[in-house]
Amino acid sequence: MSAADRLIGELRGGATLDAEGEFSLDGAEARRKLRAFQVADPRAYLLFLVQAAHFRGATSVAITRSLTSATVVFAGAPLTREDVDDLYSAVFRGARDRRERSRQCLGLGVNAALSLGTSARARIQGGPAEDRFVAQLRGEDIDYQPSEPTSRAWTDVTIKGLPFALRFGEREVELLLRGAAVSPLEVTVNGEALNPAWVAGGFDGIAGLLLSGVVVRGAGGTVIAGFARADYPLDLAGGGGRRWPGCGCVDLIVGGVWLERLELKHLPEEMRLIAYCDALRTDLSLTKVVRDEALQALLRVVDVAAGRALRAAFDGPWSLRPPDLEQATRRFLLGWRGSLREAAVKDPQIAALAERVTWPRLDGGVRTGAELLREAGPIPYVHPIGDREPAIDLVPGLGAAVVVDDASAFELLRELAGGREHAVDFAVHLGDQRRYNLERWRARPYQPRTGATHGHIVAITGPEGDAGRGGEVGLSRRGGPSTVDIVVDDACIATLPLDLPLSGISASLCGDFTPRPSFDGVYVDRRFAAGVVALLGAVDRIVRRLLEAASVGGAWAGSAAYASERLGYLELLCHADVREGVLRAFGLDAELCAAAERGELGELPRLRADDLRHPLATYAAFPTVRDAQLSLQEIAALARSQGHIDVIAEGHLGLSERAQPRCLRIDRRRRAILAALFGEAALRDASGLPEWVREGGRIPRRAADPLAGAELRI
């Protein structure tokens, strides 16, 4: 419990109820108790006396300070004997009016002065002009003496017996300079004004102490706002090199003197505000403002004044750098109480400040807060991208994205956008990747295959008269996976794997294809699909050459090492679904695959039962039960002669001496080829015919177990 709370508890303990909600105190007891209660710094007694003068309606206060005494003279409402009698007890009552508050301040000031030394005493001269009096206060005693009538009334408070060593000390000077520097009444010390700005021009004079200073009068009080200069008096008198809190502050002037400084986090560090409001309530020491509705009403006026000062600063010819000013405006708007979007619509001042706040665009332009408010669609934004140049020409709409360079910029963007903001940082990285792909594409010029590295080079040609497609297919002498380079504008834009049952195929497919925006490939349209069909036609011509016995590829035609490749290519020629799989690997959809199968995009390599002129049709790849090998042409002749093709599954056990030598013993792959070429109905399963089974040829039944059903007894 604080000393003030303990004192109030003791005083209330001996009080009698006077009225509901209030209490009365014995004056002598109050003086005795108040002597035990001290303000934070008794050397502020002169400021309490200035407050007393202000609440009595004085317009000026003259302070005369000598080595051991101080005199405070002011006009206003005359001081009465009742006021003096009630000096101490008024401190503990609620201040109902200005006169009551004047008594409180006078009581605190006199008590603080008397606490400075045991020899200190106070002399108060007051009363109306015709009934003047002098009150001597020493300790707990008050002695009244009459005084000569005067032509006018004033109040004279003199403190004598101050310790000589105290003099007019630095702390006393500091308190006076800070407390009265912007006082709304003329305050002089030994004839020198402490607040010359007020003396010269009132509130406008105080506003002149600030850069872009403005005066705003509202229901909550009067506020002066602006930006600090080097000679701002409240900074000079506020603590000698004290670190500034890093945000805006408002100095509260209550009763004509500086009372407290409040930090306002949403205001810029360079901003200074002075708020005058006598309606603010204070704590018992009269040095701290009570946080109540009166303070909130004043802070609303503070916000209005800060906004006007910011608007004035944008047009003011002074040294605050525009980036700092814009950051200050951001902080102010972010601290707005309530919906900023609604305020910008209703309050022209907020709308004007929103116009001053800008965000850089990736394309070098800027967007203002007012433009964001008017924007109906989504608002793209990105975080800082450093020194790299964004690829705005490669990603549509990326140039319009705004850059949020810090947390306050993002928060304000979100407030103004109202949920329409969306991050497009991925688009920046997408642009970087596209630029990389574009540069890589341009750096890979088309190099036609030559005989030095490839054999059996075949040109890719389209339908007659189609000059928009070309390239070649070669067989790499190094072998390896089959690939195709997609060439656009004489440069390779992508290298794709060739999903073919052939190894070592190396191709270039050239054409006026349309590159994808990512520059890592081309759009799969009918033009590209026709190019793929032409590519497969060129590959087929390579295969035909390999099958020529006299060619270098004769080894491929007869070597068992390539049997799987030859069979796989047969599947491609005979199976429509295998061909579709190859086309799908290039990205062709079902519609384009069907068009290719119908021959609308060019001649697709294939075999038909009525057209077996392909060299691979002479390839003996289908074994018989007598370990011979038949080609497709031989099988077709057999089908024509006997009307069917006898087949049994590979691994069938039954075999007869009477077996037909041209019956095929084939696996599932070969059977599927024959079914695709001749139809399933042409294949006859001969495994169950009598002539194919010899005695004992079947697997014998297993003999009965002699121990089956036996019992073992021990």
Helix 27-36 vs helix 98-114: crossing angle, to nearest 10 = 50
Q: Which residues of the chain have pLDDT under 70?
A: 1-39, 94-95, 139, 164-170, 235-245, 284-286, 316-323, 337, 451-453, 462-469, 477-478, 549-561, 651-660, 688-714
Parse the chain into domains and list their residue ranges. Answer: 3-166, 186-320, 324-439, 444-597, 620-692
pLDDT for res 18: 58
Could you give the CA distance from residue 211 to residue 318 in angstroms, rounded to a whole number?
A: 7
Could you give the CA distance from residue 342 to residue 354 in angstroms, rounded to a whole number?
A: 12
pLDDT for res 477: 62
pLDDT for res 72: 94
Could you give the CA distance from residue 501 to residue 454 in angstroms, rounded to a whole number?
A: 19
Contact between 192 and 168 (Cβ < 8 Å): no
The secondary structure of residue 548, as a DSSP letter, is -
Residue 566 corresponds to which tokens in the numbers above? 């030859």
Residues 6+ apart with CB under 8 A from 254: 51, 277, 278, 280, 282, 289
In this predicted model, what pLDDT tens digit does every residue of 93-118 receive, in sequence order?
766 789 988 998 898 888 888 888 77
pLDDT for res 247: 79
pLDDT for res 585: 94
Contact between 504 and 475 (Cβ < 8 Å): yes
Measured in residues, the chain has a length of 714
pLDDT for res 517: 92
pLDDT for res 164: 58
The secondary structure of residue 692, as a DSSP letter, is G
pLDDT for res 32: 59
pLDDT for res 521: 94
The secondary structure of residue 602, as a DSSP letter, is S
pLDDT for res 553: 45
Q: Which helix (H) or strand (E) holds 705?
A: none
Residues 6+ apart with CB under 8 A from 207: 213, 214, 215, 224, 226
Does the domain at 3-166 match CATH 3.30.565? Answer given as: yes
Question: Which phi and psi (to 5°) does residue 254 adopt?
Answer: -125, 130
Look-up of token digits 């109905």: 681
Distance of CA 349 to the CA centre of its chain: 27
Contact between 378 and 427 (Cβ < 8 Å): no
pLDDT for res 96: 73
Which of 64, 63, 90 minimizes the C-alpha distance to 183?
A: 63
The secondary structure of residue 147, as a DSSP letter, is -
